[in-house]
Amino acid sequence: MSNTPGRVLVLIPTFNEKDSLPGVITRVRAQTPPVDILVLDDNSPDGTGAVADALAAQDPRVQVMHREGKQGLGRAYLAGFAWAIEHGYDAVVEMDADGSHLPEQLGRILAAAQDADLVIGSRWVPGGATHNWPHRRNILSRGANLYTRAALGIPVRDATAGYRLYRTSALQTMDLEGVASAGYCFQVDLTLRAVDRGLRVVEVPIDFVERTEGTSKMDGSIVREALSSVTLWGLQRRGGQVVTATQGLGRRVRTGATWHELTD
């Protein structure tokens, strides 16, 4: 592959992020090479959409998509993916609006995209770190990713990470119309799809910084959704592996100590 994506679009979903959004956009726009930004606002009651419109009016590289209401992180990103593909972008970057994903580390993600279809900004590879997280949150994230790796049998260490880049050519192979995940398990869902399609997945270390403005959207329902979805996907994968192995076994006959493959 060995080619850097040309046109890159940073997707920033928002819901009540009016205080943090201007600073994040300013920091993204300061990066080199320059990228475009699409704010995906879910009709924020605090007026984030109007703030985003004002920023877009000042900068032609900033666009805003106004959505009817809060429909979940996954639906926002899927809408952003479709917009990026329609407008001819080579890659999209997912980035939080609260400053937890450092725009200053965007360069290392873009650099890794030279040889990848999906680049994950990982907290749990050597060099990755979290800052200002309570101990319980660290344990929850590490445990969730360990469980995900074991249940799904994938080599990714931070499948729940939200700071990532996809080539749009890769997205078009991943059956996005079949994605039903709305919350944070959306990230696991798309990671699994990328691995299953043999796409090149690379993890690079990042620093994840706990937000200093607003409140986290992580709650018990999000955790339960992710746990139940990963468990179901894991059972389906294991079941499929058993069926495949059984079918293969049924096509063999043993003669003495040697296995022979039966042919049609």
Q: Which pLDDT score is estimated for 77?
A: 97
Residue 29 — φ and ψ, nearest 5°? Answer: -70, -15
| 115: DSSP letter | G
pLDDT at 216 over 80: no
Question: What single letter denotes the amino acid at residue 44?
Answer: S
What pLDDT, in 10s, does the model give residues 131-187?
999 999 999 899 999 999 999 999 999 999 999 999 999 999 999 999 988 777 899
pLDDT at 227 over 90: no
> Which domains, from first to last, does the chain contain?
8-250 (3.90.550.10)
Angle ∠(20,76,92) on CA atoms, nearest 5: 80
Location of structure tokens 């997912």 = 94
* CB neighbour list of residue 228: distance below 8 Å, 6 or more residues apart: none
What pLDDT, in 10s, does the model give residues 45-96?
999 999 999 999 999 999 999 999 888 899 999 999 999 999 999 999 999 9
Tell me the percentage of the chain whose pLDDT exceeds 70: 84
pLDDT at 223 over 90: no
pTM of the model: 0.86
Instruction: Report which of 127, 142, 120 is spatially closest to residue 203, judged by C-alpha positions.
Output: 120
SS3 66: strand
Q: Which pLDDT score is estimated for 213?
A: 62
What pLDDT, in 10s, does the model give residues 13-46?
999 999 999 999 999 999 988 999 999 999 999 9
